[in-house]
């Protein structure tokens, strides 16, 4: 679905509260949505860093995860408005032709969080490693017991979703595709797999469907913490919340609180503020020197668990809460 022009324009805003020089660099930030706390924190970090550096920040977001049409329109609008660097958390490869078009006009395009072909640079979590960490934890926690695994994914073909999914399987000791694959692997231990779009309500529906398929599920992988919370709701509704491991990725403050409460068993924490601040710095550097950012920079990931397990390196929820994003 393509947004109408008035709707998209309403999502584009300039950072306010500061006086900018006429030649201040203009930097854009396009996220997947405006509501996910991960992207809220990313926007806060970008705004703070831009104000500190004397840059103008424009921001926009898709309506839902996967809204490439909205992101394409935002790319075009920002380039037309004078942005020389645009940071984007890609909702899908449909944005690539537009990225190439604006790059040909001298715009630097930096991928945050989600890789895509042709980005000048990528500042992101090692999502495969994030999956491996929670897979290793789940394997150790099950201690050789038979497993029935539900995989609550993002949606087909997205690199972040595939990397976390396949990384989890590899960490659990199951045969899986490597970090470069966008295909979701499967194994006999996986009794159900459903898409959630990273959404809490859809996560609950996905888990309800999985429980109908196999009520004996005892390990649940989730693409992010909102989906994990939805999965827990479904398990609780079915009276099955005890004895089921829920593993996730994000490290937001609510997710860490859910980990402390036992809703999430363990989560891999990532750092969106660092991604955004590095992107803004790269944008200012490009404006001053003409030098573009290149390559991949790993912004770090930490396994957070309420209960440590021997042989698995993790930090407790106090550390997680100190480093989390969102409302504490």
pTM metric for this prediction: 0.83
pLDDT of residue 4: 30
Mean predicted lDDT score pLDDT of the chain: 92
CATH architecture of 26-125+272-293: 3-Layer(aba) Sandwich (3.40)
Percent of the chain at pLDDT above 90?
84
pLDDT of residue 10: 37
Model pLDDT for residues 213-268, shown as the tens digit of each residue: 999 999 999 999 999 999 999 999 999 999 999 999 999 999 999 999 999 999 99
First vs last C-alpha separation in the chain: 35
**Residue 15 in this model has a pLDDT that exceeds 60:** no
**Residue 124 in this model has a pLDDT that exceeds 90:** yes
Which sequence spans correspond to the domains of the chain?
Answer: 26-125+272-293, 127-269+303-323
**Residue 3 in this model has a pLDDT that exceeds 80:** no
Query: CATH number of the domain at 127-269+303-323, out of 1.20.120.1200, 3.20.20.70, 3.20.20.80, 3.40.50.2300?
Result: 3.40.50.2300
Q: What is the mean pLDDT of residues 126-151?
A: 98
pLDDT of residue 319: 97
Report the alpha-carbon distance of residue 269 to residue 4 in Å, rounded.
36
pLDDT of residue 11: 44
Model pLDDT for residues 83-112, shown as the tens digit of each residue: 999 999 999 999 999 999 999 999 999 999
Report the alpha-carbon distance of residue 267 to residue 78 in Å, rounded.
35
- Most confident range, picked from 33-37, 161-165, 196-200: 161-165
Q: What residue spans of the chain are helical by DSSP H? A: 5-11, 37-53, 68-80, 96-103, 127-142, 159-172, 200-213, 225-237, 253-260, 272-289, 317-322
**Residue 187 in this model has a pLDDT that exceeds 90:** yes
What is the side-by-side strand order in the sheet with 85-88?
Answer: 13-14, 56-61, 26-31, 85-88, 108-112, 121-124, 295-298
Tell me whether the CATH fold assigned to 26-125+272-293 matches the one assigned to 127-269+303-323: yes
Report the alpha-carbon distance of residue 286 to residue 25 in Å, rounded.
9
């Amino acid at each position: 679905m393509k947004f109408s022009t008035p709707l998209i324009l309403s999502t584009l805003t300039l950072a306010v509260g500061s006086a900018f020089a006429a030649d201040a660099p203009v930097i854009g930030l396009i996220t997947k949505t405006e509501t996910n706390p991960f992207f809220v924190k990313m926007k806060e970090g970008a705004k703070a860093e831009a104000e500190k550096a004397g840059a103008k920040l424009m921001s926009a977001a898709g309506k839902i995860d996967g809204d490439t049409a909205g992101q394409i329109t935002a790319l075009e609008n920002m380039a037309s408005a004078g942005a020389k660097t645009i940071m984007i958390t890609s909702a899908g490869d449909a944005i690539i032709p537009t990225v190439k078009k604006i790059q040909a006009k001298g715009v630097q395009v930096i991928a945050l969080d989600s890789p895509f072909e042709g980005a000048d640079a990528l500042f992101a979590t090692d999502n495969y490693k994030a999956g491996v960490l929670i897979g290793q934890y789940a394997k150790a926690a099950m201690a050789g017991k038979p497993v029935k695994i539900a995989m609550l994914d993002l949606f087909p073909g997205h690199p972040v979703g595939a990397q976390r999914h396949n990384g989890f399987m590899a960490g659990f000791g199951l045969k899986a595709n490597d970090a470069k694959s966008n295909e979701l692997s499967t194994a006999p231990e996986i009794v159900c797999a459903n898409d959630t779009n990273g959404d809490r309500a859809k996560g609950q529906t996905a888990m309800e469907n999985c429980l109908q398929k196999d009520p004996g599920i005892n390990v649940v992988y989730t693409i992010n913490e909102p989906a994990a919370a939805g999965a827990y709701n479904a398990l609780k509704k079915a009276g099955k919340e005890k004895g089921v491991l829920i593993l996730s990725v994000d490290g937001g403050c609510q997710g860490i609180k859910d980990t402390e409460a036992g809703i999430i068993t363990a989560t891999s924490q990532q750092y969106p503020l660092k991604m955004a601040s590095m992107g803004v710095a790269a944008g200012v550097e490009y404006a001053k020197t003409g030098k573009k950012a290149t390559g991949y920079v790993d912004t770090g990931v930490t396994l957070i668990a309420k209960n440590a397990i021997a042989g698995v390196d993790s930090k407790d929820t106090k550390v997680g809460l100190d480093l989390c994003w969102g409302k504490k």
